[in-house]
Amino acid sequence: MSEQNWMAIELKNVVVVKPHGELDMNNSFQFKSFVKDTYINAGKSNVILDLSEVEYMDSSALGVLLGLQRAARLNGGSLVLCGLHENLARILKITSLEGVFKIYPTVEEALKFFLEGS
């Protein structure tokens, strides 16, 4: 993912960001800047990261996820994850981060968290 390989859409007060391919040291900081500067720091701090098309994530990407979660909270919002494949779920479990994030199976279920206050 050397070029920008993600997309984002806004739904009501929520931003859904969907990266594709690999999220690693080659692009994770650019990804963080995009999400943080374009949305979180602009007051759109309810963020869903749809990871359904992420094939690989390294430790730098995990750090970025934690940083984005912190930024969202500091700006009065939340960051949730959805669409994790088995390998990404395993990485979060091995690193003891599965309990740190709210994780949903689909974007639709993650949206319910924000729109219905679940």
What's the whole-number average pLDDT of the chain?
94
21 φ/ψ sector (left φ>0, alpha ψ -120 to 50, else beta): left
- What per-residue confidence (pLDDT) applies to 4? 72
Q: State phi, psi for 16 to the nearest 5 degrees.
A: -105, 120
Q: Name all domains of the chain by residue range, CATH numbers in brackets.
A: 6-115 (3.30.750.24)
- What per-residue confidence (pLDDT) applies to 1? 38
83 φ/ψ sector (left φ>0, alpha ψ -120 to 50, else beta): left
At 21, the amino acid letter reads: G
23-80: per-residue pLDDT in tens?
999 999 999 999 999 999 999 999 999 999 999 999 999 999 999 999 999 999 999 9
Helix (H) or strand (E) segment spanning residue 59: helix 59-74
